[in-house]
């Protein structure tokens, strides 16, 4: 096998995205699109990978910094040909071939790239362009290929005439070029086009001038080479990516009631016989166990969920760990650093932050637990609030095993309730409660007789 290196172009601003953020950092199924391109290229185990950065270079480097990547700055950004040229030093003396790709083509697969390399090698080609046919080729460079598979020229959409616009064979922006030839030809590029940029596509005419015949490698996989230039393309690529993740999950034994409205990130794993209802988002590195049931409108991020967990509609879970056989929701909000034990029930309008809830405990209604540690088999009554914040610092609330907390109780933290204790409804608990005690902290009920006319209105019209 010949020697290979890669150049990935990621310096452009992505003007057509109309964004404050550089294009290659825009997310596809939760990950910046450049990440997918890097994964596909890494899979080929090439000798070196150069990433050309320019617009918001610091952000791109910061996001992807890794010892196997060489970042090269292109400043200012004067076109795709100019971008590749910035890598000439890194390829000085390199006798192999260079795979050139764009960072805005996130659906590309390692299989397609390795087929491309095999083709290039089998023809002993010095310059090969990966092409496909699109029914709607708008925006792409059109490739003029002769009957022998030789590329005659590539013309950009904005530089093309009416006849050229009819060509449906397009340039995917993926090339293989013999390294020495590449950097020699790049020296000759001119910017006499509509954008006054140095187009990489002009390599074709330069190659003909040097008596090199550029070949086309045509793929039928027209969806994997879609490039993202606009929000519309981004939506299309996201939808293709989600579809492939959904298909994987279904093949792994997950029921999706309405696959098109489930939005999973690529790293999400879900166990056998779990059912996902419509309009659910599961993102980050979340993992959901077996036989779970996730109702409509739930959002789960970076969380680990055990088996047989029911998450009822409208609940949001972010960076939490939930053990098996748990009920959550509807409308529950579980926030980071929360751990929910087995057989716990978290009911409607319950918010939990940075707390541990022990096995078999319940907080069924309208409750806030923050910075708290709830033991096993504890009942937290409706409307309980841990007052964890004094305006400056957060303080812990500890409620030990088998406590029963009545409704509408406030725990003014820091405070600890010993095991087996009972807190009377409506109490504001400011001091520790020893174990096996009853604590009631509210004023006694007083009853006064009313004189006539002091109480509720007596006639309809007075109400
Ligand atoms: C490019 C091709 C077009 C092809 C299409 C495939 C050229 C001139 N055109 O067009 O034939 O059909 O890709 O998707 O090559 N970039 C830089 N520096 C620059 C300019 C761009 O690094 O100065 C990077 C961008 O970040 C991007 C990639 O190069 O990742 C492609 O640039 P883009 O502007 O998207 O090119 P297209 O118009 O899509
Ligand atoms: Ca593009």
Which region holds residue 383: left if phi is over 0, alpha if psi is between -120 and 50, else beta? left
Q: Please state the pTM of the whole predicted model.
A: 0.92
Q: How far is CA 271 from CA 121, 206, 264, in A?
A: 42, 54, 14
12 lines ligand 1 (CB under 6 A): yes
Q: Give residue-wise pLDDT tens across range 221-252.
A: 999 999 999 999 999 999 999 999 999 999 99
Could you tell me if residue 451 is inside a domain? no
With a 6 Å cutoff on the Cβ, whether 137 touches ligand 1 is no
Q: Measured in angstroms, how far is the CA atom of residue 173 from the centroid of ligand 1?
A: 7
Closest ligand 1 atom to the C-alpha of 79?
23
Residue ending a domain, choose from 167, 202, 218: 218
Q: Is the CB of 79 under 6 A from ligand 1?
A: yes
Report pLDDT for 433: 98
Over residues 282-288, mean pLDDT: 98
If DSSP codes are grouped into helix, strand and coil, which group holds residue 120? helix
84 within some domain: yes
Ligand 1 center–CA 83 separation, angstroms = 10
Does 235 fall in a domain? no
Could you list the beta-strand ranges (E) of 43-113. 48-53, 69-73, 97-102
The reply to whether ligand 1 has any atom less than 6 angstroms from the CB of 10 is yes
Answer whether 54's CB lies under 8 Å from 76's CB.
yes
Q: Ligand 1 pocket test: which of 15, 41, 80 has the largest number of ligand atoms within 8 Å of its C-beta?
A: 80
- CA 31 to mean position of chain CA atoms: 4
Is 218 known to be catalytic?
A: no
| Mean pLDDT for all residues in the chain | 96
CA distance 133 to 158: 19
CA of 14 to the centre of ligand 2 (A): 8
Q: What is the pLDDT of residues 69-80, one digit of tens each?
A: 999 999 999 999
Determine the distance separating the centroid of ligand 2 and the alpha carbon of 39, expressed in angstroms. 18
Measured CA to CA, the distance from residue 271 to residue 281 in angstroms comes to 16
Q: Which atom of ligand 1 is nearest to the CA of 229?
A: 35
Residue 462 falls inside a structural domain: no
Higher pLDDT, 193 or 1: 193
Convert the pLDDT of each residue in 15-49 to its tens digit. Answer: 999 999 999 999 999 999 999 999 999 999 999 99
Of 92, 111, 88, whose CA–CA distance to 100 is shortest? 88
**What pLDDT shows up at residue 175?**
98
Q: Which ligand 1 atom sits nearest the alpha carbon of residue 82?
A: 23
Residue 452 pLDDT exceeds 80 = no
Distances (CA, A) of 449 to 164, 233, 269, 296, 459: 95, 74, 65, 52, 20
Query: Does 140 lie in the same domain as 43?
Result: yes
**Quick one: which atom of ligand 1 is closest to the CA of 11?**
22
Residue 456 is predicted with a pLDDT of 65
Residue 383 lies in a domain: yes
Per the DSSP assignment, residues forming a β-bridge with 32 are: 27
Is 7's C-beta closer than 6 angstroms to any atom of ligand 1?
no
Ligand 1 contact, 77 CB (< 6 A): yes
The β-bridge relationship of strands 142-145 and 48-53 is unpaired
Residues in Cβ contact with 386 at an 8 Å cutoff, skipping those fewer than 6 apart? 368, 369, 370, 371, 372, 397, 410, 411, 413
Domains held by the chain: number: 2
CATH number at 78 reads 3.90.550.10
**Catalytic one among 26, 333, 365, 395?**
365
Q: 118 CA distance to ligand 1 centroid (A)?
A: 24
Angle, CA 352 vertex, CA 346 and CA 358 arms, to 5°: 60
Beta-bridge partners for 304: 287, 321
Q: Which ligand is nearest to the CA of 233?
A: 2
The CA–CA distances, whole Å, from 258 to 6, 278, 293 equal 40, 5, 14
Residue 446 within any structural domain of the chain: no
**Gap between the Cα atoms of 65 and 71, Å rounded:** 8
Supply the pLDDT for residue 127.
98
300 touches 335 (CB < 8 A): no
Output Rg (C-alpha) for the chain, integer angstroms: 31
Of 165, 169, 174, 141, nearest to 155 (Cα)? 141
Residues 196 and 309 in one domain: no
Residue nearest to atom 14 of ligand 1 (CA): 227
The answer to whether residues 404 and 267 belong to one domain is yes
Confidence of residue 2 (pLDDT cuts 50, 70, 90): confident
| Candidate of 105, 155, 159, 227 to mutate for ligand 1, largest count of ligand atoms within 8 Å of Cβ | 227
- pLDDT above 70 covers a percentage of the chain that reads 98
**H-only helix segments in 261-380:** none
Containing domain of residue 395, as a range? Answer: 248-439
Distance in angstroms (rounded) separating the CA atoms of residues 434 and 418: 5
Residue 460 pLDDT: 58
Residues 64 and 176 in one domain: yes
| Average pLDDT score over residue span 414-443 | 98
User: Does some domain include residue 89?
Assistant: yes
Q: Is the CB of 226 under 6 A from ligand 1?
A: no
Q: Say yes or no to pLDDT of 461 above 60.
A: no
11 C-beta closer than 6 A to ligand 1: yes
Q: Is 128 left (phi over 0), alpha (psi -120 to 50) or beta?
A: beta
Instruction: Say yes or no: CB of residue 227 within 6 Å of ligand 1.
Output: yes
Give the other-Cβ count within 10 Å of 191's Cβ.
14
Structure token digits, residue 207: 């190659």
Residue of 90, 102, 2 whose CA lies nearest to 44: 2
Ligand 1 in contact with 171 (CB < 6 A)? yes
Residues 280, 140 share a domain: no
The CATH number for 346's domain is 2.160.10.10
My answer on whether 158 and 18 are in the same domain is: yes
Give the separation between CA 297 and CA 261, rounded to whole angstroms: 10
At 457 the pLDDT is 59
**Is residue 204 in some structural domain?**
yes
The share of the chain scoring above pLDDT 90, in percent, equals: 96
Q: How far is the CA of 165 from the centre of ligand 2 (A)?
A: 17
Query: Taking residues 1-14, what's their average pLDDT?
Result: 93
**Residue 451: what pLDDT?**
84
* 148 shares its domain with 204: yes
The whole-number average pLDDT for the span 306-319 is 98
**Angle between helix 33-42 and 57-64 (nearest 10):** 50
């Amino acid at each position: 096998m010949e020697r290979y290196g890669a150049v990935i172009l990621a310096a452009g601003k992505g003007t057509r995205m109309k964004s404050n953020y550089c294009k290659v950092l825009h997310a596809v199924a939760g990950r910046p699109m450049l990440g997918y391109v890097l994964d596909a290229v890494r899979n080929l185990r090439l000798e070196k990978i150069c990433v050309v950065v320019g617009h918001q270079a610091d952000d791109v480097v910061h996001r992807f910094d890794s010892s196997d990547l060489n970042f090269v700055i292109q400043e200012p950004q004067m076109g795709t040909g100019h971008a590749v040229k910035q890598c000439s030093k890194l390829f000085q003396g390199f006798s192999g071939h260079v795979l050139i790709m764009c960072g805005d083509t996130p659906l590309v697969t390692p299989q397609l790239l390795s087929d491309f390399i095999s083709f290039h090698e089998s023809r002993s080609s010095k310059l090969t362009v990966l092409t496909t046919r699109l029914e709607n080729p708008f925006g792409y460079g059109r490739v003029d290929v002769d009957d022998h598979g030789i590329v005659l020229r590539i013309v950009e959409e904005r530089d093309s005439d009416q006849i050229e616009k009819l060509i449906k064979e397009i340039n995917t922006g993926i090339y293989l070029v013999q390294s020495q030839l590449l950097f020699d030809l790049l020296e000759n590029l001119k910017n006499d086009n509509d954008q006054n940029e140095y187009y990489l596509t002009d390599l074709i005419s330069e190659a003909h001038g040097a008596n090199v015949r550029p070949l086309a490698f045509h793929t039928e996989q027209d969806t994997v080479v879609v490039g993202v230039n606009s929000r519309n393309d981004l939506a299309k690529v996201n939808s293709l990516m989600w579809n492939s993740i959904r298909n994987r999950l279904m093949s792994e034994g997950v029921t999706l009631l309405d696959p098109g409205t489930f939005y999973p990130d690529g790293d999400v794993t879900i166990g056998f016989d779990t059912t996902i209802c419509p309009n659910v988002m599961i993102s980050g590195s979340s993992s959901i166990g077996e036989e779970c049931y996730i109702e409509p409108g739930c959002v789960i991020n970076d969380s680990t969920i055990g088996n047989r967990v029911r998450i009822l509609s409208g609940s949001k879970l972010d960076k939490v760990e939930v053990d098996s056989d748990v009920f959550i929701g509807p409308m529950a909000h579980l926030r980071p650093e929360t751990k929910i034990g087995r057989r716990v029930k978290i009911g409607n309008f319950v918010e939990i932050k940075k707390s541990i809830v022990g096995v078999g405990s319940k907080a069924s209604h309208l409750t806030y637990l923050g910075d708290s540690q709830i033991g096993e088999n504890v009942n937290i009554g409706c409307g309980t609030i841990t007052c964890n914040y004094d305006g400056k610092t957060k303080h812990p609330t500890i409620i030990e095993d088998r406590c029963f907390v009545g409704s509408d109780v406030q725990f003014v933290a820091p405070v600890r309730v010993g095991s087996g204790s009972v807190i009377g409804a409506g109490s504001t608990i400011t001091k520790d409660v020893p174990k096996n005690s009853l604590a009631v902290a509210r004023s006694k009920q007083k009853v006064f007789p009313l004189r006539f006319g002091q109480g509720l209105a007596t006639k309809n019209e007075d109400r």
